[in-house]
Structure 1
Amino acid sequence: MATHAGQRQAVVAQNVANADTPGYVGRDLPSFQEMYAPSESGTLMQRATRSGHMHGSTEGTMEGVMREDRSFAAPDGNTVSIETEMMRATEAKRQHDRSLAIYKSAMNVIRSSLGRQ
């Protein structure tokens, strides 16, 4: 979840950096839930996120699922809305904070089971 949030934040930053570029089409990643939802058969499929991975599908990698966002278009053809990007950045930060809280809780459970504080 933290990796997804970081990658989404990078996409948002790229969109903001190109907010004044004529003809630039903004991009976005699907939500974490959409990315890691089970397939129709009800199972999670392995994904190869790098070319060096031996098993898994390259479909579903971040680069493969990035989609264009054409919900807004300026007269110069630029589709980036700063307000929308700020909302996406806030959502990515919340997702990242949530993933770190989950990780911290899991570490506390492990430490408690080992008898360490």
Structure 2
Amino acid sequence: MFETLEIFRMAQGMATHAAARHRVVAENIANADTPGYKARDVQPFAEQVQGGSGFKLRQTRPGHSAPATSGHTYRSSEQRDAAQSPNGNSVSIEREMVRAVETTRQHDLAVNVYRNALGILRTSIGR
């Protein structure tokens, strides 16, 4: 029931995006000394939502056509503006640490949105 409410879907999408970005940041940090490794990042969440590529169609009524697949997709891509070291590696530990903090804040925001929406829902039904 709760997964059909848009606020819960948005909170889940934000949390999923944060998890995907955490994975990419961790891969970048793990490969900081790998020669020729190119730093990667995922598309910002706002662009995913506005572009429509982060969310798939969903069937809201029996008469509507069913979606082909469900879920969120987040693809990492190479960072074009990253400076390279002499061995061809483009990972900056400082930049990755900033991204890790941003991603943690995004995940915390998603959890708070979910928690507050759940509180409003509980209040509205009298529990």
TM range (shorter): 0.7 to 0.9
- Larger mean CA deviation between 96-105 and 66-75 belongs to 66-75
1:50 aligned residue: none
Deviations 1:68-111 (A, max 9, x none): 01412100000100000001101100000001000000000111
AA partner of residue 123 (structure 2): S
Once the two structures are superposed, the pairs formed by residues 1-117 of structure 1 within 5 Å of their partners are: 1-38=14-51, 46=56, 55=68, 61-63=73-75, 66-70=76-80, 71-116=82-127
Aligned length: 103
Structure having the higher helix fraction is 2
Q: CA deviation at 1:113?
A: 1.2
* Alpha-carbon distance in structure 2 between the residues aligned to 1:72 and 1:108: 46
* Alpha-carbon distance in structure 1 between the residues aligned to 2:74 and 2:69: 14
Deviations 1:15-68 (A, max 9, x none): 0000000000111001100111146xxxx9626xxxxxx6159xx8313xx210
Gaps of 5+ in 1: 48-53
Contact 2:55 2:73 in 1 (8 A): no
AA partner of residue 37 (structure 2): Y
Give the TM-score taking structure 1 as reference length: 0.79
Gaps of 5+ in 2: 1-13, 58-66
Identity within the alignment, %: 47
Give the TM-score taking structure 2 as reference length: 0.73
Could you say what the CA RMSD is over the residues aligned between the two structures, in angstroms?
2.3
* Alpha-carbon distance in structure 1 between the residues aligned to 2:55 and 2:110: 21
The change in CA–CA distance for 1:37 and 1:81 in structure 2 (over 3 A counts) is same
